[in-house]
Amino acid sequence: MGWQQLGAKMIVREGWGSHYHLDLPWVHYKLIARNLSEAYRMGFMAVYGDVSKAFATQAPNYWAITRMMWDPEQDSDRMMETFWREAYGPVASEMQMFFETYSDALDRNWARRRRIVDTSGVAYANLINSWHLILPLSVVDEAERHLRAAEAKVPPGEYADRVAFHRLGQDYTRLMLELLDCYRQLAELGVKMGWFSSAAETHREDDATKARLLHRAYELGEQREQMLLAHRDWAALNEGLYAYMEDKNKDEMLWHRAVKNALGIEKPTALTPDALKVK
C-alpha cells in the first residue's frame, strides 16, 4: 500500500455501539468481521472503537469484535457458528434466526433511512428519525416468533437464563421503537422534541391525537427508565448513557423530560445519581 511505503502506521476507528443506537438491535456482526479482516489484510496495525454494554440486543457484535481482533485471519462464518452453539446450546438455531432477523433488516432497509443530514455515514438526527423504517413492526414480530420458539424449547439452566436475558432486550426494543415513533409524531404536532422537531417533515394540528400520544409517550418513557434500572447488575442495557444525558442537560435528547413538561408533570428522572450507585 502507498501509505505503508511512506512509513504511515494506520489504525482502524469504528463506531460499533454508542448512544446513537439507543441500545436497539444494531446487529451487524457480519460487516464487523468483514471490515476487520480486510483492515488486517491491508496492513492496519490496530483497531479501536466505541461500544456500549447492550449485550441484551447486540451480543453477536461484541463476539465478532473481540474474536476478530484476536485472530483477523479466521473464518468468520465458523467463528459465528461457534458463538451460536456455545452461547445457546439446544436453541442455537432459534437464537441465530432471532438475531439474523434484525441483521438482515438492517441490511435490507438501511437505504430507506431519512437524510436529514446529508451524509452517507451515520448521523444521529437521521437514525433516530428512521428506526421505524429500518426496523418496522413486522421485523420485531418476526424476531419475536424466533425468540418464543427458543423460550418454548430451551431446558431450565444456563441456556434458559441467556434466552431470558435477550427477552429483556426484545421487550426493550419493542417499547423503544414505539416510543420513538411517538416522539416523531409529537414533533409534527408541535411539541418541542429536540432533533425530532428539527426533522419534522409535516406540521399539523390535532389536539386529541397530541394528548393521546403525550400520555402514551409518558407511560412508555416511565417504563423505559424502570427497564434500564431493573437489571443494573446485567450488562444488558446502558442506563449510564441515559443518565449522562440527563445530568448534562442535553435538551435535544431529553425527550422524556419534554413530554413531562408538555403534560405539566414535575417528576425527576428515576435514573438519579443515588439510584445508579453501586450497592
**pLDDT > 80? residue 28:** yes
- Domain ranges in the chain are 12-276
Cell of 221: 418513557
Q: Could you report the per-residue pLDDT of 89-130, keeping only the tens digit for each?
A: 999 999 999 999 999 999 999 999 998 888 877 888 888 899
Residue 97 half-sphere exposure toward CB, CA atoms < 13 A: 14
Distance in angstroms (rounded) separating the CA atoms of residues 115 and 117: 5
* Cα dihedral sign, 212-25-234-252: negative
**pLDDT > 80? residue 217:** yes
Cell of 273: 445519581
pLDDT of residue 117: 84
Sorting pLDDT into bands at 50, 70 and 90, what band is 247?
confident
Rounded to 5 degrees, φ, ψ at 130 are -125, 0
- Distance of CA 216 to CAs 85, 181, 230, 257, 260, Å? 40, 11, 21, 14, 11
Does the reported pTM lie above 0.75?
Answer: yes
Q: Could you report the per-residue pLDDT of 173-202, keeping only the tens digit for each?
A: 999 999 999 999 999 999 999 889 888 888
Helix (H, G, I), strand (E, B) or coil at 113: coil
